Structure 1
Amino acid sequence: MGSPINDSNTQVVFLKHRLTAFMDLLDAINPEEADLEDIDRMIAIVEEMDAKCREFKNRDS
């Protein structure tokens, strides 16, 4: 695991990259072929981004 990201600009860049990767995943998934595992993976990614936002917010406090 990498070192903690404490700089606000770096935090925003990190989150933008994660969001872009998530959007790419959404674009790549065929809705008619998506299964429960795909949905679970997408939920996990959103939960990870939420946790990272909370972590960054707490570091700034």
Structure 2
Amino acid sequence: VEVEIPAGKYAKFSLHGDIHQAPAAAWDEIQSIPLPRAYTVDFEEYLTCDDDMQGDIDIYIALTE
């Protein structure tokens, strides 16, 4: 699926761990950070994943300009 992500400012959070559990834990932490969020487009980018379901993931949070 091809998705167009609008240009803008994003906070980037990089993590490594279980691709099913790590993002949920990261989102819990991100929600507690006082960011100037735009609440437009937030997304996750899954970069790698091995046979044990361990991977590298970037989470992007849209920020106000």
TM-score by length of 1: 0.34
Larger helix proportion of the pair: 1
Largest Rg, 1 or 2: 1
Higher percent of residues as strand: 2
